[in-house]
A and B are shown apart, each in its own frame.
Chain A
Amino acid sequence: MIEVKNISFKYAGSKRLVFDDFSLRLEEDRIYGLLGKNGTGKSTLLYLLSGLLRPMEGTVCCDGVDTKKRQPETLRDIFLVTEEFEMPAICLSEYVKLYKPFYPNFSDEILQGCLADFELPADVHLGKLSMGQRKKAYIAFAMATNTKYLLMDEPTNGLDIPSKSQFRKVIAQHMTEERTVVISTHQVHDVEQMLDHIVMLDRHNVLLNASMQDIQDQYTFEYRTPQQMDDSVLYAEPTLQGNAVICKRQEGGAETQVNLELLFNYKTQTKA
């Protein structure tokens, strides 16, 4: 479990606090969606969770160990897939050979599976790949490390359309009970089907921290004609199919699929 306790953080030279007395708990066996407007601190939070940044106040603990110490025992349980990443210009097979000893749970089987899903050969040279292909190789390696905590910052950026569904398949296939995945993204449609918990960030604090099941229990997401609009509508947006609306779910009402984009706009615009 990763526990963020009352942290305050601001960047050097900036007067604005990114987090002020911010707390959050990330449990095992969940895929978290981390959503927020630009500048609300999604990437900063991932850096703080992995120990790449130090909070000014408060603590970030991963299984009881402060992540800012960057101890190898903690680092081998955390893999952060950054939006922009560094991979040396060597063969993927050599990269794997050199770096896998640092991850005790590394699985060659998972790596081969992920590479096959992403249609990448194992002996490919990393320096000769396109940005998207390198990202797929990087995600495949991240999955194969089998770390307990997999943090991903905009993982679908740079991936083509088929790769986005391949990405969802890869995550779903290799999700285990001990694993926690945190995906920070603006591309909610790319990942909304696989998320089981949503954390929405606002300036300094959490706007929403709820499981998908709780959201589905609380709200319904549907399309309505202007004639169907009534007092039960909490939020509406005009679309080509009619008005996309969020309503309070009535007792005994049917469960609907969550429209994350609509929910995000509802929460950020109404701050409900």
Chain B
Amino acid sequence: MNTFNFNRFSQALKCQFLVERKTWIRLFGIFTFVMFMANLFFTRLQTNYRNVVENYPTEIERYYDGHVEQTVAFGIFFFCVAMLFGISSMFSKMKDTRKRSAYLLWPVSNLEKYVVSFLLYFVLMAVLTVGAYMLADTLRVFVDWVTGRIVIWGIPKLSEPFTSPAGPFSYWQFAWMFFTWVFYTHSFYTLGGTLFRRQQFLFTTGTAVAIIILLVTIMNQINPDIEFISGNWDEKTHTYTHIFHPFFYILHSTMCALMVFHYWASYKLFTRMQVINNKWLNV
């Protein structure tokens, strides 16, 4: 039996995208509107632009640049929330019996259905959110230009947090830590989105908060006094060298293993879904 047929998979991907296209267009509109409004908030309500132009005209570029950076920070935060919201909504199309039976009886293999949903709610959601940010930034720049303000784009600043010398790629350990935490969180929300039958984002976030509180409480009781990352300042060369505790590697290796488990468990849960399940959980 063929569990992954590329032709069938691409047909299924096209089919699901076209059937859901109105939802995606609506989501793109909402995201653009929210980010445009946030841009206006950071560049209009939070600034005293006229005062700076009148009193410190040479400082205006530096001043306004700082406010545009706030829109970028908001954009990155919004992107993260949208990605988690997206992946936890991966199976929201199966929330009632009618939708579940239609989706489960679709003559596409479980693996193909899972990958189609994963791609749409991961890759397409990412493209859509970045696109919405770009459009919102363009609209904000247009408003600035029309109202005679200095034109500073936010789009090129999107990559700055990652390319700065102190960014996550200055050490391979930092890059590893960065990707591990990003994908660990993503995998956790993927599992939550498959496990919970309704309000997946809220329930997954609630579960994550509960686990964090529990872990912090336990850690406080144990008080292991481990410094995961320390460093040495070399007076001669004026360089700072990071030192990573062995527990840093153990922690992140464990997280990588858990991340793989989350994705695997999410797929297994999906393959075992039935048309009539528990009211709250897909078990």
Contact = CB atoms under 8 A, between A and B. Distances in A.
B278 A85 contact: no
Given A12-B277, A12-B278, A52-B274, A78 B99 contact: no
Contacts of A103: 107
A94 to B, nearest CB: 8
Interface stretch (B11-19, B61-69, B172-180, B209-217): B11-19
A82 interface: yes
Contacts of A52: 100-101, 104-105, 274-275
B111 to A, nearest CB: 10
Contact of A11 (B15, B97, B276): B276
A94 B5 CA distance: 23
Nearest to B279: A13
B50 interface: no
Interface string A87-129: 1111000100011011100000000000000000000000000
B117 interface: no
A221 B164 CA distance: 89
A125 to B, nearest CB: 13
A258 interface: no
A175 interface: no
A154 to B, nearest CB: 14
A128 B261 CA distance: 44
Contact of A78 (B11, B14, B105): B105
B2 interface: yes
A110 B102 CA distance: 22
B73 interface: no
Residue among B18, B22, B97, B108 with the most chain A CB within 10 A? B97
A97 to B, nearest CB: 9
A51 B272 CA distance: 11
Contacts of B2: 72-73
Q: Mostly helix, strand, loop or mixed at chain A's interface?
A: loop
Contacts of A51: 104-105
B275 A71 contact: no
A98 B277 contact: no
A72 B109 contact: yes
Contact of B101 (A72, A80, A87, A88): A80
Nearest to A94: B18
A86 B102 contact: yes
A79 B105 CA distance: 8
B236 interface: no
A71 B112 CA distance: 11
Interface string B78-118: 00000000000000000001111110111111101000000
Contacts of A87: 102
B275 A101 contact: no
Q: Give chain A's interface residue range (CB within 8 Å of chain B).
A: 20 to 34
A98 B8 contact: no
Contacts of B283: 12
Residue among B19, B99, B272 with the most chain A CB within 10 A? B19
A89 B22 CA distance: 10
Contact of A53 (B18, B112, B276): B276
B218 interface: no
B261 to A, nearest CB: 23
A85 B102 contact: yes
B19 A84 contact: no
Contacts of B5: 72
Interface string B122-164: 0000000000000000000000000000000000000000000
A147 B19 CA distance: 23
A25 interface: no
A50 B105 contact: yes
B1 interface: yes
B108 A80 contact: no
Nearest to A71: B1
Contact of A13 (B1, B15, B278): B278
B270 to A, nearest CB: 11
Nearest to B7: A101
Contacts of B22: 89
Contacts of B14: 98
Nearest to B11: A101
Nearest to A102: B107
Interface in A218-239: none
20 contacts: A12-B278, A47-B274, A51-B104, A52-B100, A52-B101, A54-B274, A72-B107, A72-B108, A73-B1, A73-B2, A75-B105, A75-B106, A78-B105, A79-B105, A90-B19, A94-B18, A98-B15, A101-B11, A102-B107, A103-B107
* 4 A-B pairs closest in CB distance: A52-B275, A76-B107, A75-B107, A86-B102
